[in-house]
């Protein structure tokens, strides 16, 4: 199954590939774990893992730098560290909301840093600085970092399904294309020296408040799996238990006639009180409570239906 993600046989054999869905708290856990030898992590992907990069993009509408985002964080939405400088020895987050595997996926949201550009930022800006600071070559350094890649959903939500008649590829052809491109990006990271990869499966796209208005949740889920084998396993995973509201957003969404697209919360709008019982915070993104469950499973679970072929804890101790 993993061979569908990584086409190179060599890569497949040499590289522990792991699917997990939202390893947002892996960093702290992986570093302080007894036996874990992880210096930090490099994160690539979309808004599911963007911790503030888009705040610096002029034309992007995919930002979460206003309340009620960050409502449960004392200092508001988190801010991202720079691509170079002392802090990079613990890793860098390059992710950009609205971006996708395809370069043009983010263009509908004004601006986004494509996966391609994220990798270039890693290679051209961070890596030389990291080598200089640590006094080691990349081949010695990078095996001690986790490479977390969480991308692909937007290529469906904001590219494929919004395309008009121009590029009429079937979902299968489109998915094959995405898989090939993502595979190439992962191989690039591997060639640069990365050895420990955490791949997040796609969330069930059709089940978000935004998409479920127009599509059937399970149908879209099973047909749009980009990490085919992995996603099929993971999308069968039911919504985490203990949630009362699995369909509507916790926050009040930005009105469609005011520039809203069914995703973002209204600025300074209301948020539900029982956030821990909601699956979705806005029209697309899960609540902190869901992320904690997913991160915990990614780190610790022994079920191959949740994380495959090994969990993040095992990956860290390699």
Ligand X SMILES: *[C@@H]1O[C@H](CO)[C@@H](O)[C@H](O)[C@H]1NC(C)=O
In the complex with ligand X, which residue's Cβ is closer, 169 or 255? Answer: 169
Q: Residues 4, 187, 276, 300: which binds ligand X (CB under 6 A)?
A: 300
Query: CB 30 → ligand X: shortest distance, Å?
Result: 15
Residues 204-243: x/- map of binding to ligand X (CB under 6 A)? ----------------------------------------
Please give the structure tokens belonging to residue 38: 């992880």
Please give the structure tokens belonging to residue 105: 């996926």
Segment contacting ligand X by CB under 6 A, of 27-35, 36-44, 168-176, 286-294: 168-176
Query: CB 102 → ligand X: shortest distance, Å?
Result: 5
In the complex with ligand X, which residue's Cβ is closer, 80 or 224? Answer: 224
Query: CB 179 → ligand X: shortest distance, Å?
Result: 10
Query: CB 47 → ligand X: shortest distance, Å?
Result: 21
Is 301 one of the binding residues for ligand X (CB under 6 A)? Answer: yes
Q: Taking CB under 6 A as the criterion, which residues in 181-200 touch ligand X? A: 181
What CA–CA distances, in Å, run from 301 to 25, 59, 195, 297, 308?
14, 40, 21, 5, 9
Q: How many residues bind ligand X (CB under 6 A)?
A: 12
Residue 18 DSSP one-character state? E
Contact indicator for 143, 196 with CB cutoff of 8 Å: yes
Q: Residues 35, 165, 238, 273: which binds ligand X (CB under 6 A)?
A: 165
Is 302 one of the binding residues for ligand X (CB under 6 A)? Answer: yes
Is 167 one of the binding residues for ligand X (CB under 6 A)? Answer: yes
CA–CA gap between residue 98 and residue 283 (Å, rounded): 13
Is 255 one of the binding residues for ligand X (CB under 6 A)? Answer: no
**Up-side HSE of residue 306: CA atoms within 13 Å toward CB?**
18
- Is 196 strand, coil or helix? strand
Residue 124 DSSP one-character state? I
What CA–CA distances, in Å, run from 114 to 99, 130, 140?
5, 22, 27
What CA–CA distances, in Å, run from 156 to 129, 176, 203, 236, 270?
35, 13, 11, 19, 29
In the complex with ligand X, which residue's Cβ is closer, 78 or 302? Answer: 302
Is 162 one of the binding residues for ligand X (CB under 6 A)? Answer: no
Q: Taking CB under 6 A as the criterion, which residues in 91-150 touch ligand X? A: 102
Contact indicator for 117, 188 with CB cutoff of 8 Å: no
In the complex with ligand X, which residue's Cβ is closer, 181 or 254? Answer: 181
Letter string b/e over residues 217-238, b meaning 16 or more CB atoms within 10 A of that residue's CB: eeebbeebbbbbbbbebbbeee
Contact indicator for 127, 149 with CB cutoff of 8 Å: no
Q: What are phi and psi of 305, to 5 degrees?
A: -75, -15
Q: Residues 94, 145, 147, 174: which binds ligand X (CB under 6 A)?
A: 174
CA angle 181, 183, 189 (to 5 degrees): 110
Is 169 one of the binding residues for ligand X (CB under 6 A)? Answer: yes
Query: CB 210 → ligand X: shortest distance, Å?
Result: 21
Query: CB 86 → ligand X: shortest distance, Å?
Result: 35
Q: Residues 25, 33, 177, 223: which binds ligand X (CB under 6 A)?
A: 177
Segment contacting ligand X by CB under 6 A, of 27-35, 72-80, 166-174, 280-288: 166-174
> What are the percentages of helix, strand and coil residues in the chain, rounded to 5?
40, 10, 45
Q: Which residues bind ligand X (CB under 6 A)?
A: 102, 165, 167-169, 173-174, 177, 181, 300-302
């Amino acid at each position: 199954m993993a061979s569908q993600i990584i086409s190179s046989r060599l890569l497949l054999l040499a590289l522990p590939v792991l699917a997990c869905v939202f390893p947002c708290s892996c960093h702290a856990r992986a570093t302080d774990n007894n036996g874990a030898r992880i210096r930090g992590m490099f994160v690539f992907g979309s808004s599911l893992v963007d911790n503030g990069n888009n705040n610096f993009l002029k034309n992007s509408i995919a930002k979460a730098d206003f309340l009620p985002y960050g409502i449960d964080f004392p200092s508001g939405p988190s801010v991202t560290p720079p691509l170079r400088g002392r802090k990079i020895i613990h890793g860098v987050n390059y992710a950009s909301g609205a971006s996708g595997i395809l370069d043009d996926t983010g263009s509908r949201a004004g601006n986004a840093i494509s996966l391609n550009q994220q990798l270039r930022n890693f290679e051209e800006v961070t890596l030389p600085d990291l080598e200089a600071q640590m006094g080691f070559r990349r081949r010695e350094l990078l095996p001690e970092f986790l490479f977390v890649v969480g991308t692909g959903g937007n290529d469906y939500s904001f590219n494929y399904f919004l395309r008009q008649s121009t590029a009429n590829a079937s979902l299968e052809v489109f998915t094959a294309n995405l898989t090939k491109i993502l595979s190439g990006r992962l191989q690039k990271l591997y060639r640069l020296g990365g050895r420990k990869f955490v791949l997040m499966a796609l969330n069930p796209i059709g089940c978000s408040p935004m998409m479920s208005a127009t599509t059937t949740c399970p149908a879209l889920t099973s047909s749009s799996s980009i990490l085919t084998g992995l996603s099929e396993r993971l999308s069968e995973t039911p919504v985490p238990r203990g949630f009362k509201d699995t369909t509507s957003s916790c926050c009040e969404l930005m009105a469609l006639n005011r520039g809203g697209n069914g995703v973002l919360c209204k600025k300074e709008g209301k948020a539900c009180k029982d956030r821990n019982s909601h699956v979705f915070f806005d029209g697309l993104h899960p609540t902190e409570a869901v992320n904690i469950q997913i991160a915990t499973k990614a780190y610790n679970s022994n079920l191959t239906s949740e994380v495959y072929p090994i969990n993040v804890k095992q990956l860290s101790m390699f």
